A and B are shown apart, each in its own frame.
Chain A
Amino acid sequence: MKSNVTKLLSTAAIAATISAGAAAATLDDVKAKGFVQCGVSTGVPGFSNADDKGNWSGIDVDACRATAAAIFGDGQKVKFTPLSAKERFTALQSGEIDVLARNTTWTYTRDASLGLDFTAVNFYDGQGFMVRKDLGVNSALELAGATVCTEQGTTTELNMADFFRKNKMSYVPVVVQKADEALAAYDSGRCDVYTTDKSGLAAHRTKLADPSAHVILPETISKEPLGPVVRHGDNQWKDIVTWAMFVQVNAEEMNITSKNVAKIKSETTDPGIKRLLGVEGDMGAQLGLPADWAYNVIAQVGNYGEVFERNVGPSTPVDLPRGLNALWTEAGGIMYAPPVR
C-alpha cells in the first residue's frame, strides 16, 4: 500500500506545514534548492517513462525540462517523482512537488476546488476504446453488454459512465488501482474493452503481448486537454511554467529549432525574434528569469514540433498523428500560443 502511505504522509505534511508564505515564491524555493521537483506518471510511453538506466523522457518530462531550462539554463536540473493517478494532486497540494506534468486533464472541478491552477495545454487528447480485433467491433456504439477495464482515479471513469448512460447501453466496469494491472486484466481477457485517453491507448498498446491483435475504435468520447499543473496562488510560478510551453509553440511557428537557434540568435534582424531570444530588451526580468531563458528552452528542449516528433510522433513506437496538436496554421490543428512581446 505504498500509495496510501504516500498520501497519508502528504496529508500529514499539509497539516504540519507552517502557513506563513507557504503558498508563494515557489521560484525562490526552486532556485534555493537548485532543481525543479516534477511529478510524473509511473510510466506512460511517450509522455513520461523511464528507461532501464532511469532516464526519463516524454512530452510531460520535456515540460519539466523546459521549466528547468528557463530558470537555470540547464534542462537536466529536474528531479522526478513518479505518482499514481490518485496520488498526484495531494503531492502537489502538499508541496512535495513543484509542478505536476502527468498527462492530467484540465477540468472545471479540478481547477476550481483543488487549490490548483492549470497552465498551458501541451497535448489535446480525447478518450477512446481499445478492443480485440477478433471481436469484430467497429464502433463504440456496438459495445452494449461489454466488460470494460480502466484505471482508477481518472476522468476516464466518469466519461465511460456518461458515455454508456447517454447511449443507454449496459456494461460491467472493472476499475483497477494502477494502469499496468488494468492493462494486464484486459490482456488476460477479463475485459472486452480497455478505455483511457487515446494517446494512452496507443502508448499502452505497445506494452501488450501482441499489439497488432488490438484495435482502437474511431469514437472519441471526451475532450481531454492535458497540461502541467501548479499550486493556486503563486502567479509568478504559474506564468513561468505556462510561458516555457508557449515559447516552444511560438518557436515552431517561427521555424526556430534546437539546431538552428544559435545561428538565428546571432544573425537575425527580426525584432520579434530578437525579443524572444533575449538579444534585445530584458523580457526575462519580468518573470524573475535570465534574459536568455527562452533561448535556453529552445536550445535544450526544442520547439513543440520537435518535442512531439521525438516522443510520440510517427517515428516512435507510440506512433500518434499530429491531429489536433498541429499548429493552428496547419489544417486541423489548434495548438496556439499568445505572442511574446
Chain B
Amino acid sequence: MSENTNPSNNSLLNDAGTRAMIFQIVLLAMVVFAGYYLFSNLQANLDNRGISTGFAFFNEPAGFPILIHLIEYTEANTYGRAFVVALINTFVISLLGIILSTVIGIVMGLARLSKNWLVARLATVYIETLRNIPLLLQMFFWYFAVLAALPAPRDSYEFADFLLNKRGIYSPNPITQDGFGLVIFGFFLSIAAAVGLIIWAKKRQTRTGLWFPAYWSSLGLIVGITFLFLAIAGFPIEFDLPQKSRFNVTGGMVLPPEFVAVLVALSTYTGAFIAEIVRAGILSVNWGQTEAARSLGLRDNLTQRLIVLPQALRVIIPPLTSQYLNLAKNSSLGAAIAYPELVAVVMGTTLNQTGQAIETIGLCMLVYGSLSLSISVFMNWYNNKMSLVER
C-alpha cells in the first residue's frame, strides 16, 4: 500500500485533474457522435422518403398574404421576405410587451405595497387573477370578448377623425410633404439641446448643490423646438383620413384587434408576475435604509428613488430577466388568434406550403434561441452595471 503514496509511482491515471479531463473528452466525443448520428440518420431517412431538403424555397414567391407587415410585402414577394416580416412582427410584439409589462409591473407592485387599503386590495386581485389563468385562455378572452363588444364597421364609434370597430382602431395617417426634413433636423437639434441641459444641470448640482428640474424642462425643450421648426416649415404634413366603405374602413392607419389582443394579454399577464418581483425586491431592502435616509432629511419620493429602488433592483433584475424571456417566447401563442408572428407564418403557412418541416422548425428554434440569448446578454450587462453600485 505504501507504494501508492510514493509520488514517483503515480501514473497519470491517478491524477484527479487528468482523470477529469479524460472524462470530459469522452463525454464530448459521445455528444458529438450522438449529434452526428442523428444528423446523418435524418439525412438518410429524408433521402429514402424522397423529401426534398434545403433552403432553396426561400427565393420562391410565397403567394400568401400577411395581415400585419411593417415593411412592404405582397403575395408576389418571396418566402424569405415573408420570414423577415414575421421576424419583425415577433420583435415588435416582444419589445412593446416588455416595455408595457414593466410599467404595469412596477405600478402594480408599488400599488400592492400601498398603505391605501383599496389600492392594495385591487392590486392583489389583479395579480392573483391574471397570474393564475393560462395565457392562451387570456388571449382568446381579449380577442373574442373585445370583438363581441365592438360595433360593425358601418356603426363605428367615432372620435374626431378616429374610428373604432371590430376591424380595429383607425387613425389619420400622416403623410409628410416637402420640407419635412427641416422638422427632422429641428427634432434632433432639440434632443441635443436637452442632453446638454441635463449634463449642465448635473454638473451644477455637483458643484453648487443647487437642484434644477432638468428632465421636465428638457421635455419642454424637445416639444417646443420641434413645434417651432414645424411652424417655420409651414406644417408640411397632410393626413389621410379613414373613411367607411362598403365592407371596411379604407385609408388611414389601422391597429388590428389581433395586435391589440396579443399585446394586452402578454403585458398584463407578464405584468402580474413582474409586480410580485418588484414587491419582493422592495421588501428585501432593510427598513433601516429608509430610516437612515429620512434622518438625513430626504423626502419620501427621493428616498424611494435614490435609496430603496437602486438596492431593490439588484434583487429584481435576475428574475425580471426570466420574465422577459418568457414574454418573448409566449408571443408565439399569438398564432392562435391570427397575429402573424414567426410561428404562424414560418411554422404554419410556410411549412405547410413547402413541406420543409426540419428547415422551418430549425429556423424558428434558432430565432427564439437568439432572441432569448440577446435579452439575457442585455439584462446580464444591466445587472452587472447595477451591482457595481455596491461598495
Q: Report the tally of A-B residue pairs with Cβ distances under 8 A.
A: 157
Q: Please report whether the interface of chain B is mostly helix, strand, loop or mixed according to DSSP.
A: helix
**B361 on the interface (CB 8 Å rule)?**
yes
Known: A19-B45, A161-B65. A175 touches B351 (CB 8 A): no
Docked Cα-Cα span, A272 to B258, in Å, equals 60
Q: Are A93 and B49 in contact (CB under 8 A)?
A: yes
Docked Cα-Cα span, A178 to B246, in Å, equals 28
**B148 on the interface (CB 8 Å rule)?**
yes
B48 → chain A closest CB, angstroms: 5
Which among A15, A114, A192 is the interface contact of B355 at CB below 8 angstroms?
A: A114
Docked Cα-Cα span, A192 to B347, in Å, equals 27
**B33 on the interface (CB 8 Å rule)?**
no
Known: A8-B361, A146-B247, A176-B337. A152 touches B49 (CB 8 A): no
- CB-CB under 8 A from B182, the residues of chain A are none
- CB-CB under 8 A from A89, the residues of chain B are 352, 355, 357
**A22 on the interface (CB 8 Å rule)?**
yes
Q: Are A22 and B336 in contact (CB under 8 A)?
A: no
Interface string of B20-63 (1 = CB under 8 A from A): 00000000000000000011011011101111100000000001
- CB-CB under 8 A from B333, the residues of chain A are 1
Q: Are B349 and A113 in contact (CB under 8 A)?
A: no
Q: Please report whether the interface of chain A is mostly helix, strand, loop or mixed according to DSSP.
A: mixed
**B270 on the interface (CB 8 Å rule)?**
no
Docked Cα-Cα span, A23 to B167, in Å, equals 49
Q: Are A16 and B41 in contact (CB under 8 A)?
A: yes
Docked Cα-Cα span, A10 to B351, in Å, equals 14
Residues from 160 to 179 in A contacting B, C-beta threshold 8 Å: 160-162, 165, 171-178
Residues from 140 to 158 in B contacting A, C-beta threshold 8 Å: 140, 143-144, 147-148, 152
Q: Are B147 and A189 in contact (CB under 8 A)?
A: yes
Docked Cα-Cα span, A134 to B380, in Å, equals 58
- CB-CB under 8 A from A86, the residues of chain B are 347-348, 351-352
Known: A93-B51, A110-B355. A14 touches B42 (CB 8 A): yes
Number of A residues contacting the other chain (C-beta, 8 Å)? Answer: 57
Docked Cα-Cα span, A263 to B80, in Å, equals 62
Q: Are A154 and B357 in contact (CB under 8 A)?
A: no
Residues from 86 to 120 in A contacting B, C-beta threshold 8 Å: 86, 89-90, 93, 109-110, 113-115
- CB-CB under 8 A from B63, the residues of chain A are 158, 161-162
- CB-CB under 8 A from A268, the residues of chain B are none
**A153 on the interface (CB 8 Å rule)?**
yes
- CB-CB under 8 A from B67, the residues of chain A are 172-175
Residues from 114 to 146 in B contacting A, C-beta threshold 8 Å: 140, 143-144
Q: Are A113 and B52 in contact (CB under 8 A)?
A: yes
**A231 on the interface (CB 8 Å rule)?**
yes
Closest to A173 in B: B65
Q: Are A177 and B348 in contact (CB under 8 A)?
A: yes
Residues from 244 to 296 in A contacting B, C-beta threshold 8 Å: none
**B328 on the interface (CB 8 Å rule)?**
no
**B248 on the interface (CB 8 Å rule)?**
yes
Q: Of the 9-residue stretches B5-13, B233-241, B338-346, which lies at the interface with chain A?
A: B338-346
Which among A19, A172, A182 is the interface contact of B44 at CB below 8 angstroms?
A: A19
A155 → chain B closest CB, angstroms: 9
Most buried by B among A10, A160, A174: A174
**A184 on the interface (CB 8 Å rule)?**
yes
Q: Are A145 and B250 in contact (CB under 8 A)?
A: yes
Closest to B348 in A: A152
- CB-CB under 8 A from B50, the residues of chain A are 115, 232-233
Residues from 308 to 342 in B contacting A, C-beta threshold 8 Å: 332-333, 335-338, 340
**A50 on the interface (CB 8 Å rule)?**
no
- CB-CB under 8 A from B340, the residues of chain A are 175
**B66 on the interface (CB 8 Å rule)?**
yes
Q: Are B361 and A19 in contact (CB under 8 A)?
A: no
- CB-CB under 8 A from B44, the residues of chain A are 19
**A188 on the interface (CB 8 Å rule)?**
yes
Q: Are A181 and B337 in contact (CB under 8 A)?
A: yes
Closest to B167 in A: A147
- CB-CB under 8 A from B39, the residues of chain A are 15
- CB-CB under 8 A from A171, the residues of chain B are 65
- CB-CB under 8 A from A235, the residues of chain B are none
Interface string of A1-37 (1 = CB under 8 A from B): 1001001101100111111001100000000000000
Known: A188-B166, A189-B147. A11 touches B349 (CB 8 A): no
- Given A147-B167, A161-B64, 15 more A-B residue pairs with CB atoms under 8 Å apart are A14-B45, A19-B44, A89-B352, A143-B247, A145-B250, A153-B349, A153-B351, A154-B352, A157-B64, A158-B63, A165-B75, A173-B67, A175-B67, A175-B340, A233-B50
Return 29 A-B CB contacts under 8 Å, by A number: A1-B333, A4-B332, A7-B361, A11-B361, A17-B45, A19-B45, A22-B48, A93-B49, A115-B46, A115-B49, A145-B245, A145-B247, A145-B248, A147-B247, A147-B248, A152-B335, A153-B348, A153-B352, A172-B67, A172-B167, A175-B67, A175-B338, A175-B349, A176-B337, A181-B140, A181-B336, A181-B337, A185-B338, A231-B49
